[in-house]
Amino acid sequence: MRPRQRQRLPDLWLFTDERQGAALWTALARLPRGAGVVFRHYRAPDRADLARRVRAICRRRGLLFVAAAPPPLARAWRADGSHGRHRGALTAPAHGRAELVAARRAGARLVFLSPLRATRSHPGEAPLGRLRFGLLARRRGVAVAALGGVRPDERRALRRLGAAAIGAIDGWEKRPRPGLGFGAGPIRRQATAKGGHAVAACSRSAGCGEEQPGETPR
């Protein structure tokens, strides 16, 4: 599910999660135009319907919709790309150096390195911390995003560590302070490599997790 041409991806992302409940809609409403959404909700019984609802909001608000799903399912949902460890994924997860290298070799455009800090979604997992994150994020030959205990208003501070973007789950539930690093790159129209589905994305800037067994990564 590879874009036809290179384009700048968003630097602000929302990762959806079942724990959000109704806060999902609040988080989507607070994303600036041009941001990205990685739709997960792996265990939602109505996952397909929910994906379509989220995609419709993304289209209406100029957000990039990426599905954490195998390419055939992502195409069926008319996503702008897929998220996972599979070849051709637009974005990918990583928890260390080996996974960063694997994601680059698989062709991912943006790799979410996590967890930067301790999180509710990964209790007991040792966080990378700022120093290790910075060492891993630099000179890997692929754009790296920070994920895990990240707040949207930390964009500028994390850029100095080598983060090309940031992703958040709970961080979007609170209204961020204005003027602290918001922004997203322009996304051009792209199409899937298979199936011929055109995928619309945002055309102006201002304000495009977890692997379920047998499906996609985290």
The parent domain of residue 175 ranges over 12-199
Is the model more confident about 184 or about 74?
Answer: 74
Quick check: helix, strand or coil at residue 154?
helix
Looking at residue 142, its pLDDT comes to: 92
Per the domain annotation, does 95 fall within a domain? yes
Count other C-beta atoms under 10 Å from residue 160's C-beta: 9
Q: What is the pLDDT of residue 199?
A: 32
- Full-model pTM: 0.78
Q: Is the pLDDT of residue 96 over 60?
A: yes
Q: What is the pLDDT of residue 175?
A: 61
Average pLDDT over residues 19-40: 95
Q: pLDDT, tens digit, for every residue of 32-82?
A: 999 999 999 999 999 999 999 999 999 999 999 999 999 999 999 999 999
**Confidence bin at 127 (pLDDT 50/70/90):** confident
- Whether 17 shows a pLDDT value over 70: the answer reads yes
Helix axes 23-30, 47-61, angle to 10 degrees: 20
Within the chain, where are the H helices?
23-30, 47-61, 71-76, 97-105, 129-137, 155-159
Question: In the Cβ-directed half-sphere of 47, how many Cα atoms lie within 13 Å?
Answer: 17
CB-based contacts of 71-78 (< 8 A; 24+ apart in sequence): 71/1, 71/192, 71/194, 74/1, 75/1, 75/192, 75/194, 75/195, 75/197, 77/39, 77/48, 77/51, 77/52, 78/197, 78/199
| 87-91 own/partner pairs: CB under 8 Å, 24+ apart | 88/1, 88/2, 88/193, 89/1, 90/1, 90/2, 90/3, 90/9, 90/66, 90/208, 91/9, 91/38, 91/66, 91/145
In a domain, 105, yes or no: yes
Of the candidates 212, 12, 216, the one whose C-alpha atom is nearest the C-alpha of residue 110 is: 12
Q: What is the pLDDT of residue 6?
A: 61
The mean pLDDT of the chain is 80
pLDDT score of 23 more than 50: yes
> 113 in a domain, yes or no?
yes
Q: Give 128-173 pLDDT, tens digit per residue.
A: 989 999 999 987 789 999 999 998 888 889 999 999 999 998 888 7
98 part of a folded domain:
yes
The partner residues of 15 in beta bridges, in order of sequence, read: 38
Predicted confidence at residue 92, as pLDDT, reads 98
Confidence of residue 218 (pLDDT cuts 50, 70, 90): low
Asked whether residue 207 is assigned to any structural domain, the reply reads no
77-101: average pLDDT: 96
Taking alpha carbons only, the member of 112, 108, 111 closest to residue 121 is 112
Residue 95 to residue 148: CA distance in whole angstroms: 11
CATH number for the domain spanning 24: value is: 3.20.20.70
- Asked, for residue 116, whether it belongs to a domain, the answer is yes
Position 2 in a domain: no
As given in the structure block, the two tokens for residue 43 are 């265990």
pLDDT of 121 over the 70 cut? no
Q: Tell me if 117 is assigned to some domain.
A: yes
Measured CA to CA, the distance from residue 12 to residue 15 in angstroms comes to 10
pLDDT the model gives residue 214 = 38
In total, how many domains does the chain have?
A: 1
pLDDT above 90 for 28: yes
Amino acid 39: pLDDT: 98
For residues 122 and 211, which has the higher predicted lDDT (pLDDT)? 122
